[in-house]
Amino acid sequence: MNFHWIKTIYRFIADQPLPKGHLLFQRYTIEEVIGMGSYGITYRATDFITGNHVAVKQLRRTKSWTEEGRKSFEKEKQILQELSLPEIPTIHPHTANEKGQFLVMDYVAGKNFEDLIFSEGKVYSEQNALAIFTQLVSIVQKIHEKGIIHRDLRIPNIISSGEKLHIIDFGLAFKLSDEAGGKAAEKHRNLMREVSVTSDFYALGHFLLFLLYSGYEPQSKKENSWEEELSLSPGVHQMLRRLLQIDESFGSAEEIIAEIYSMHLTKEAGKTM
């Protein structure tokens, strides 16, 4: 057995999730695992004092042995504390015990857009997609106003709860003023990981594409670009090109919202002509 496989097996054993029924901090009963990422394991748990559900994120033990892992987890905790927004899970005080390091947060009841699109077959018209997208951009605007970028606005991290949206998983988030941002930019050479507001806009473009593709049925086996496959209004098409940085990127979330508002006015003017 080579060293790689020994290391893999060791990590598998060390990073085993907490079992169902485990009592954490003498308060939170683990119910189930709801997510497993490269750095953390997230559980749904019950707070036996309040009776409410909470989300508990555990730093993987193998990551807790590295300085990078510990700093990343601490940074996520600080960012959640600073945000304090209704669309972002509120963080609770407990952080560590003999089982490791934890973040205890409000549990957001709802479904993420990965499940809505791929498991439930939800289809969004351009109008519906744009309404959802506008609400999401408004939340991102609030996050940016606090000097923070998310850097992981993928469909599993956007939750639909009734008529409201929530953003979760700030494990890759950065403060725009953080000196470590430069190092992160060097390490992640792709548009979604840049330490800039444009990285969130790039991710938002892909989020919107997932919504718009939800009702798409291929006409041939040949795979084409989204510009060839989707029938979009000129305004949405142009906005996507800017979000995906094909054309000059937007400079702020406010600018995106203004663009959407401009499209709406143009559409309404067209109806009255």
Hey, which residues does 106 pair with through a beta bridge? 54
**Which of 152, 169, 200, 247 is the catalytic position?**
152
The answer to whether residues 143 and 209 belong to one domain is: yes
The answer to whether residues 51 and 171 belong to one domain is: no
Element (H, E) at 28: strand 28-36
106 flagged as catalytic: no
The residue type of 125 is S
Domain end (from 106, 121, 143):
106
In a domain, 70, yes or no: yes
Residue 91: DSSP 8-state: B
pLDDT tens-digit readout, 30-59: 999 998 888 899 999 999 999 999 999 999
Domain end (from 60, 90, 106):
106
The answer to whether residues 84 and 141 belong to one domain is: no
Place of tokens 């992640």: 188
Sign of CA dihedral 3, 4, 8, 11: positive
Domain end (from 78, 106, 134):
106
The answer to whether residues 98 and 123 belong to one domain is: no
Q: Which domain holds residue 98?
A: 13-106
Read off the pTM.
Answer: 0.87
Q: Which residues contact 150 (CB under 8 A, 6 or more apart)?
A: 140, 143, 157, 167, 170, 172, 173, 200, 203
pLDDT tens-digit readout, 78-108: 999 999 999 999 999 877 677 789 999 999 9
Q: Look at the chain and report how many structural domains it folds into.
A: 2
The answer to whether residues 102 and 228 belong to one domain is: no
Hey, which residues does 132 pair with through a beta bridge? none
Residue 57: DSSP 8-state: E
The answer to whether residues 139 and 201 belong to one domain is: yes
**Mean pLDDT value across residues 117-122:** 96
Average pLDDT, rounded, for the chain: 88
The answer to whether residues 124 and 239 belong to one domain is: yes
pLDDT tens-digit readout, 188-243: 457 777 889 999 999 999 999 999 999 998 877 888 899 999 999 999 999 999 99
Contact 45, 22 (CB under 8 A): no
The answer to whether residues 163 and 87 belong to one domain is: no
Q: Which residues contact 35 (CB under 8 A, 6 or more apart)?
A: 41, 42, 156, 169
The answer to whether residues 137 and 102 belong to one domain is: no
Q: With CA atoms as reference, report the closest residue to 46 among 25, 29, 68, 63.
A: 29
In a domain, 7, yes or no: no
Q: What is the CATH number of the domain that holds 179?
A: 1.10.510.10
Q: What is the CATH number of the domain that holds 77?
A: 3.30.200.20
57 is in an annotated binding site: yes
